[in-house]
Structure 1
Amino acid sequence: MTKYARITAIEYVLPSQTLSNEDLSRDYPEWDVAKIFGKTGINERHIVAAEETASDLAFNACEKLLSNIDVPRSSIDFIILCTQSPDYFLPATACILQDRLGLPTHCGAFDYNQGCSGFIYGLGLAKGLIESGQANNVVLVTAETYSRYINPGDKSVRTLFGDAAAATLIQASDSTNGPFLDRFRYGTDGAGAKNLIVPIGGARCPAELNPAPALRKDESGNVRTDADLYMNGPAIFEFSMTRVPELFATLFDDKLTLEDIDFFAFHQANKFMLDALRRRLKLPQEKFIAEFEHCGNTVSSTIPIALKECLSKGALAEGHTLAALGFGVGYSWAGCIIKW
């Protein structure tokens, strides 16, 4: 019998420490609380403590997931971790998680560095593992601590990004109603790499060769060094307005139309970006998921967090069909259809 990969559970965790719009307004007096919310749609972001890492968040999200499912740890065949803030250059953080979670040693584990499109890429990887017969139970983890890379003087990114981790269980299903994860589409344009980047810290430009990077202020008053996260907002916006509609169109044909979709789950970047995409694609607001007010842009975790929020509120239920799209750093973009 044909087996299909299916999402069966999602959990997420946020750090306890928060950064509210009130906090930001005190740091940036020219931006009041209403202005920050109006531009971003975000009220607060959760920020890791000094001793917390992405793997700590990932561990807590996995523990929450594993304690709420009827699947023994011994049955987990694979753990896949999407992160751009690993504990070490090597080994893979997923290997550390396997041991810390008490998963079996026959469990496969690997990291991948993908960012905003990472959840969709992970679903594609899990589908491949399951539908090729290599696994039955895959835990897909997305964990990010972008706050580690943000200069406190850079309001262009500090107002947007929050830290989080999500854990998603993808299982093999014998149901004849599959496929449940379908129509995967991908795209890459590395020419845009420079527009969302931490320039210093990797092998190309090691931190030890740049121990005191210069502090600079841009024309908007944002302060950062080359060891901090840099985002070219206008370039990212232009990329998103071009590539996302192009990819979105490839998900549909005479067998699947817009009318067949119950919800549209896009990367939860910020209110300005999502509103512009929704208008460009002429999507009904009641079908367009927006669940980031309480946590901000959590990079690869935005879509699973949004799905979990919809599940908790009873909006998303079995039988619903979603179009999911991730896009951003890389440039990288990806989309798929999810049948719940």
Structure 2
Amino acid sequence: MAQSNLYSRVLGTGSYLPPNRVTNQDLADRLAKQGIETSDEWIVARTGIHARHFADPDVTTSDLALIAAQRAIESADIDPQTIDLIVVATSTPDFVFPSVACLLQDKLQIKNGGAAFDIQAVCSGFAYAVATVDALIRSGQHRTALIVGAETFSRILDFNDRTTCVLFGDGAGAVILQASDEPGVVASALHADGSYTNILCTPGHVNGGIVAGSAFLHMDGQAVFKLAVNVLEKVALEALEKANMSPDQVDWLIPHQANIRIMSHTCRKLGLPQERMIVTVGEHGNTSAASIPLALDFAVRDGRIKRGQNVLIEGVGGGFTWGASVIRY
């Protein structure tokens, strides 16, 4: 039975970027060999992205998740065997099944029989995972949870399409949430509208041992931009209203790191100074479900985010899905 005074709070954070840093010029040179023109200036002007990281061919999503998870566990200073719930947000799993969460549980050698599953909400995946895990902890079903956002999006990019291949990168971010009598995750809001499936999707599927349809990411950039700027402000305000807070009480905004123009637009609409927004998109690119926990960990470790501060996270992604959470760090 749910305990009315039970909450979840963030104990620790961790992240990992594969070492292969790919600059805009690296991509421009690669595309030029295929007769496709782009430039560092063109990419930066439209996205704010200067570089991203790509995993080596033999590195899997669960490999990235493992290092981020280990760093979060070390930060939280807990015994991994106390983790009774693992949730991984990803759109680029190692296999069709089992889940990355189960693979991660094995790699961490956690043998306590706790639950493990993946959440597929694309770039909103981490926001969905936080809201889901918070509800499970508040219900009393679980006490200590590992949440990871991990992606190898480089595997689904079409390097003949300069409008999409320059946007995405690989990486992983993780948090430990644990039951507490003091609020940590204060409030969340989640939404979806499946009628927008066609504007951002990877429509391939396995059939008869081969990939049927396209296994590359497809995106209508203008339609995605228009939808994103509309829903992000609304879901942020909804989560703040549930938390009985106003935007001026937000110490830090961590939006999904997709495009600096979308991020800055949302920040302005909320009436927040740009200095209160955590920005890592310039060096990470869009790492989908990994982008928010990556940015969170970077800002915790460089000392910007401090205990007791209010952090607003929000994301929007294919599905279409969107969500936000207010977290008292």
**TM-score, normalisation: structure 1:** 0.89
Shift of 1:202: 4.4
Partner residue in 2 for 1:325 = 314
Summarize the Cα distance change of 1:67–1:233 in structure 2 as closer, same or farther, 3 Å threshold. same
Partner residue in 1 for 2:194 = 190
SS in 1 for 2:67: helix
Matched, 1:284 2:284: no
CA distance in structure 2 between the partners assigned to 1:227 and 1:300 by the alignment: 19
SS in 2 for 1:227: coil
Shift of 1:297: 0.8
Partner residue in 1 for 2:24 = 21
The answer for unaligned runs of 5 or more in structure 2 is: none
Matched, 1:11 2:14: yes
Choose from 216, 223, 240 the match for 2:228. 240
Query: How do 1:119-138 and structure 2 match up within 5 A?
Result: 119-138=126-145
Equivalent pairs, count? 321
CA distance in structure 1 between the partners assigned to 2:298 and 2:219 by the alignment: 28
CA distance in structure 2 between the partners assigned to 1:58 and 1:252 by the alignment: 30
The answer on whether the counterparts of 2:308 and 2:328 sit within 8 Å (CA) in structure 1 is yes
Aligned AA (2:190): Y
Moved over 6 A (4+): none
**TM-score, normalisation: structure 2:** 0.91
Shift of 1:25: 2.4
Shift of 1:180: 1.6
CA distance in structure 1 between the partners assigned to 2:8 and 2:72 by the alignment: 18
Aligned AA (2:197): A
CA distance in structure 2 between the partners assigned to 1:294 and 1:209 by the alignment: 32
Shift of 1:28: 4.5
Query: How do 1:30-179 and structure 2 match up within 5 A?
Result: 30-174=37-181, 178-179=182-183
Summarize the Cα distance change of 1:62–1:39 in structure 2 as closer, same or farther, 3 Å threshold. same
Shift of 1:34: 2.6
CA distance in structure 2 between the partners assigned to 1:56 and 1:273 by the alignment: 30
CA distance in structure 1 between the partners assigned to 2:293 and 2:258 by the alignment: 13
CA distance in structure 2 between the partners assigned to 1:131 and 1:249 by the alignment: 23
RMSD between superposed Cα atoms in Å: 2.0
Summarize the Cα distance change of 1:85–1:64 in structure 2 as closer, same or farther, 3 Å threshold. same
CA distance in structure 1 between the partners assigned to 2:179 and 2:324 by the alignment: 21
Matched, 1:337 2:326: yes
Partner residue in 1 for 2:184 = 180
Compare CA radii of gyration and give the structure with the larger one.
1
The answer on whether the counterparts of 1:201 and 1:207 sit within 8 Å (CA) in structure 2 is no
Aligned AA (1:194): N
Choose from 189, 208, 211 the match for 2:210. 208
